[in-house]
Amino acid sequence: MHVFYLHGFASSPRAGKALYLAERLAAAGLTLHAPDFNEPAFETLTATRMIGQVETAMAALPPGPVVLIGSSLGAFVAWHVAARAEERRGSVRAVDRMVLLAPALTFDDDSFSELGEGGLRRWRETNALQIFHFAYGEQRTVGYELYADARRYDSRTAAVTSPTLIFQGRHDELVDVRKVESFAEGRPNVTLRLFDDDHRLQASLGPIFRETAAFLGLSGLA
């Protein structure tokens, strides 16, 4: 089994959740693969680039089922990696199952609602949006193509049948829990678990990992 952790926006593969998962999966003899979406440059980040990074990393691995664990924007990437694999079945490596943490699955105007219409227009015109990057601990600039490119991907219509486990905080300040509930509803391959937690889900990592281990068949760790 090959397990990937796909980090969120303005984060990194060395974030707390990635280190937590890597340590616990190592007890089962599993290596956590964690692509760095900040490379080659955060300024040129796009959904298409992130999806391509994951597909390339998956293709380089020996045979075995692939599991994607995506956090926030990383969940968006995971969902579309799985969708592309199903669309091009046989020519692209399949995703066996997914675990999505506080998934930012709908990339629409609400995703940057704090900017307002004027802010989005300025971002488009200047091709520069200042973001506090948590991994670097400082302000970084990201180009407008991140927004424009991600709008080309519709998670709601993407065909995905991989078994998927979603963990979502009821008090998430970034991802609307109602949107996640609506997304999960009517998808028989998706199981949603809600926690009294915020976007980071730090207070719920213990139960999240135990249920994830059971979902992946790692009985000794559940």
CA–CA dist 113, 119 (Å, integer): 9
Sheet holding 97-101, edge to edge: 32-33, 2-6, 66-71, 97-101, 164-169, 190-195
DSSP 99-159: EEES-----SGGGGGGGHHHHHHHHHHHT-EEEEETTTTEEEEE-THHHHHHTT--TTTS-
Q: What is the pLDDT, as a whole number, of residue 89?
A: 80
- Tell me which DSSP letter residue 204 carries: G
pLDDT score, position 111 = 62
* Structure-token pair, residue 11: 């984060």
The pairing of beta strand 97-101 with beta strand 129-133: unpaired
Question: What is the pLDDT, as a whole number, of residue 132?
Answer: 93
Beta bridge partners of 197: none
What pLDDT was estimated at residue 221? 65
pLDDT score for 27: 87
pLDDT at 185: 94
Query: What are phi and psi for residue 27, nearest 5 degrees?
Result: -65, -20
SS3 content of the chain, % helix, strand, coil (to 5): 40, 20, 40
pLDDT less than 50: residues of the chain = none
| Whole-angstrom distance, CA of residue 191 vs CA of residue 202 | 20
What distance in Å separates the CA atoms of residue 184 and residue 178, rounded to the nearest whole number? 10
Q: What's residue 25's pLDDT?
A: 92
pLDDT for 172: 94
Cα(137)–Cα(124) distance, rounded to whole angstroms? 25
pTM assigned to the model: 0.93
Can you give the pLDDT at residue 107? Answer: 72
Provide the pLDDT for residue 114: 65
**45 contacts 38 by C-beta, under 8 angstroms:** yes
Query: What pLDDT, on a 0 to 100 scale, did the predictor assign at position 93?
Result: 82
DSSP 28-84: TT--EE---TT-S-GGG--HHHHHHHHHHHHHTSPSS-EEEEEETHHHHHHHHHHHH
Cβ atoms of 70 and 155 closer than 8 Å: no
Q: What span, in angstroms and rounded, lies between the C-alpha atoms of 130 and 144?
A: 11
Distance CA 99, CA 34 (A): 14
For residue 106, the model assigns a pLDDT of 82
